[in-house]
Amino acid sequence: MMKNKLLIACATAAISMGAMASANAEEANNWYIQATGGLSLGSATLHADGIGVFGGDELTLNDEGFNGRIGVGTHISNNVRIGLEGGYASFSEDATDVKVWDILAVAYYDFNNDTAFTPYVGLGAGFAQQKVEINGALDDQTSNHFSMKVGSGVGYAISENLELLAEHSFQYNFKAELFDDIDTVDISAYQNQFNVGLRYTF
């Protein structure tokens, strides 16, 4: 009798574990798309290494502008997501315009709980291209950068598949040469991005 009860208990546990594994596998296969946009507080530093291209050795730009991002990814566990994101941002100061395009591999950790709100943190790394135009001095100078970002945010479940997002991220584009023919001029830049948007999970 005791042996039969033990077998029943083991079978019940096995069925329960199988159901949980199936649920986790299904969750891990969920794909999502998302789009966000908002305010970008940008800063760029152009360093001329003493040749006076900008009327001095260095030119620093600080201004706000627009940024937008789109992304696609998948859940690899109940809490971890990975994917790809592309973004565009622009800002200007006086007669100088800066435009940034990027594509990043990203990873996020979701702090799942029993509420409709899901906080998350994330990081990303990839490639960014910056275009700088200084009216009257330089026209459409392009530089390619290694780029990294860290961020955090919160999602609010509007429905089973749709979330409203609010997030902040800090993105840094490492120093790179601005000119092909003058290797003493370089540029680095960073952005603080404050975005809202939507994520749809299939």
Q: Which tens digits make up the pLDDT trace of 42-66?
A: 888 877 765 555 555 677 778 888 9
Whole-model pTM: value is 0.77
CATH code assigned to 31-201: 2.40.160.20
Give residue 10's pLDDT.
Answer: 43
**Which pLDDT score is estimated for 7?**
39
d(CA 37, CA 13): 47
pLDDT above 70 for 167 = yes
pLDDT of residue 3: 36
Mean pLDDT of the chain: 81
